[in-house]
Structure 1
Amino acid sequence: MTPPVVVTIAGSDSGGAAGIAADLTTFAALGVHGACVVTAVTAQDTTGVRAVHPVPLDVVAAQLDAVLEDLDPAAVKTGMLATPEVVRLVAERCADRLLVVDPVVVATSGAVLASEEVVRAYREHLLPVATVSTPNAEEHDALGRPDLPTVLVTRGGDIPTTNDHGTGCTHSAALASYLALGDDLPTAAARADAFVARQLLVSQHWRLGRGRGPVAHVHPSTTPTHRGAPA
């Protein structure tokens, strides 16, 4: 059977934990075909974000048009949109699609990742046309606790771990995948929660980086071991 297509519109993560890296690996794990529109190139690792380089609007638009016109995605998932112009572009081009908005504006650490202009563009343009939004608690507050659309405030799992970088991206990518596969929203939300909890357990004792390590994007049955690593 041909898999449904889900497109992520988000930034890169050089550490491989969040953003497009998390989205595409989650899509693959859940059996959907992942397409991507890169909105920003970030230099980041487990200790934080070092630099952000927004992709020019015309290049973002060209990527998005290429995906929408050729692959006709069943669902669209957003992450870091970087500029208010890109937020408005996504709202205009994706308003009639199943749209999962992960508003990357404030990190769980409290670090501000978006300007007030970007936050305003979310409130005025993108959130009103979204199917569902998945802010963390800090983002929900920054956005003014919107009552449109359906909002699932992500808080991470109850798994005791410091390897949780990319949890929000993974959750929203899983939610978009399950919706594309035909689940209704309550079912998709429950399955996305369960998927994230499983992946946090996989990476619970990993030792990657000097800060908060990545949530796993591999599965217990396929996680490799190497000499000197715990089995």
Structure 2
Amino acid sequence: MRKPVALSIAGIDTGNGAGAESDLKVYEILGVHGVIAVTALTAQSTTGIRAVLPTPPEFLKTQLDTLFDDFEIKDVKIGMIYNNDQFAVVKDYLRDKRVVTDPVLFAKDGTQLIKDLEEYKRNILRNTTVLTPNIPEASYLSGLKISSIEEVKLACKTISKDFNIPYVVVKGGHAEDDYSIDVLYDSNRDLYYGIGYMRLNQRHTHGTGSVFATAVSAELSKGNDILTALRHARSLLQDSIYYGLEIGHGIGPIDPVVPFMKKSMKFDVIQEMTRFSQEVESVDGFYKLIPEVQSNLAHSIPSQYVRGLEDIATFRDRIVKNWDNRVKVGLPAVFGKPTHTARLLLSILPYETKASVLMNIRFEDKIVNLLKEVGYNTLEINRELEPMSNVEGKSMQWIASYIHENYGRIPNVIFDRGVKGKEAMIRFWTSSIDEMIDTLKYLAKNL
């Protein structure tokens, strides 16, 4: 198997929030083999940088010689390069390479990471293919005060011309309070492009610049054009920010691994729901559990990763009772379908993090008693208490919030005796698909 190889020239963040070790993580999850040349070792955590130990220039050169002698490296991502001696070493390896530079001029705590900014401009920026500054960095490098999208565009073009950089993308130009735009200037076409996204008000954002620039480098190394690379990088960054890690006592790192973990989690959910369908379709008497409005099963990925209905799967069609007293499950399982079961599970998760699977079944007092015998706590609710003003899709949210507000927790089994226009129903949740299957088999056997 072959992969493109890309090089990160950067420092080591001992807190694993940014730097070369973070770059390796991003390259790997995007299908690129990352290698590193270390420019400095920092004593760093979520609270900031205590000390920096620069790599001697001769050893930095040895690292680079070793890597270029062995690997075919066409793409380079540059993070922190600490001093003039290192600039002089690195610049000789950048010729004829596609270089993405994250201009880490200052750390989040204000620590100056580049000692001689003029030499940095001369040796590094002038050998850069894609530059990815944020607003403060773009303001510093362009000498312009930036407070509007038009000024962002002017800064992009100014930086591009001043340092002969083909592509400059300034991150985070605010169009509105909750909306931002990355602005790309393409000097080859003298054109601007905007990539819009929703702002995320998250505290833990350490490593955003590093992840973004490395993702751009990875996508370019795979053969994508600059605009596609930027879109993919922004998408990854948004998910990484959303799942920023609440670790340490300062500003925690973002987590670029989560989006790929979730893909694996969703695959597991689909597999489990397929197994569920095979099991229940073969159970004698299972049809006795199906209400008139039919059933569906909702299954979420682990609760701490759930953002919305897009992380909860249900069957595309319902679980129905056939003429021969067998059931048919409406495969395939799909994510994001706004069924009642999915909405109720989503509403329960903030209160009951162990909830994973939820199903609606026919109401009968005997079924409720059987569930009690199994050991479940049960709760009856009166749907007549539901506000008449509830719009479609809000009923399940009301059930969860009403129960939590009045009882402090949400039991596994919730049932109601129906109201005009709404069938009596039992809804119950479990922490695993196996528990759900075993419980349903017990009910079907004993009805």
Mapped to 2, the partners of 1:194 and 1:42 lie a distance apart of: 29
CA distance in 2, matches of 1:200, 1:73: 29
Residues 4-23 of structure 1: matches in 2 within 5 Å? 4-23=4-23
Is residue 46 from structure 1 mapped to residue 63 from structure 2 by the alignment?
no
Structure having the higher strand fraction is: 2
Equivalent position to 1:121, from 111, 119, 133: 119
Q: Offset of 1:135 from its aligned partner?
A: 2.0
The match for 1:222 is 261
- Asked if the contact 1:110/1:138 (under 8 Å) is kept, the reply is no
The corresponding residue for 2:306 is none
Q: Measure, in 1, the Cα distance between the counterparts of 2:120 and 2:171.
A: 18
Distance 1:221 1:5 in 2: 20
CA change 1:221–1:83 in 2 (3 A) is closer
Corresponding residue SS for 2:6: strand
TM-score by length of 2: 0.47
For 2:249, which of 207, 210, 216 is the aligned residue?
Answer: 210
Q: What secondary structure does 2:60 align onto?
A: helix
Corresponding residue for residue 216 of structure 2? 175
Q: Which residue of 1 aligns with 2:96?
A: 96
Is the 1:107–1:138 Cα contact (8 Å) retained in structure 2?
no
Q: Normalization by structure 1: what TM-score?
A: 0.89
Is 2:78 the counterpart of 1:78? yes
| Structure 1 match to 2:170 | 153
Match of 2:231 among 172, 190, 201: 190
CA contact (8 A) 1:108 1:136 kept: no
Asked if 2 retains the 8 angstrom alpha-carbon contact of 1:88 and 1:126, the reply is: no
Post-superposition offset of 1:153: 2.0
* Alpha-carbon distance change, 144 to 37 in structure 1, aligned in 2, over 3 angstroms: same
Select the residue among 132, 135, 138 that pairs with 1:134.
Answer: 132
User: Deviations 1:84-136 (Å, cap 9, x if unpaired)?
Assistant: 22123222211210111112112355443222x2x112221221221111122
Taking only the aligned residue pairs, the percentage that are identical comes to 34
Contact map agreement 1:47 1:211 (CA 8 A) in 2:
yes
Assess if the C-alpha contact under 8 Å between 2:76 and 2:217 holds in 1.
yes
The letter of the residue matching 1:44 is Q
Instruction: Give the whole-Å Cα distance in 2 for the aligned partners of 1:45 and 1:179.
Output: 31
Kept in 2, the 8 Å contact 1:178–1:188? The answer is: yes
Of residues 60-69 and 171-180 in structure 1, the stretch that sits farther from structure 2 once superposed is 60-69
Stretch moving more, 127-136 or 43-52 = 127-136
Q: Whose radius of gyration is greater, 1 or 2?
A: 2
Corresponding residue for residue 165 of structure 1 = 206
Classify the secondary structure of the residue corresponding to 1:76: strand
RMSD: 2.1
TM-superposition CA deviations, 1:38-79 (whole Å, max 9, x none): 000001111111100000000001101111121021310010
Indicate the larger mover: 127-136 or 29-38: 127-136
Preserved CA contact (<8 Å) 1:77 1:100: yes
Deviation at 1:221, TM superposition (A): 5.7
SS in 2 for 1:154: strand
Aligned residues: 223
Determine helix, strand or coil for the equivalent of 1:222: helix
**Secondary structure in 1 matching 2:100:** strand
Find the aligned partners of 1:131 and 1:220 in 2 and give their Cα distance. Answer: 28
Distance in 1, Cα, partners of 2:243 & 2:34: 23
What is the CA–CA distance in structure 1 between the aligned matches of 2:86 and 2:142, rounded to whole Å? Answer: 20
What letter matches 1:57 in structure 2? Answer: P
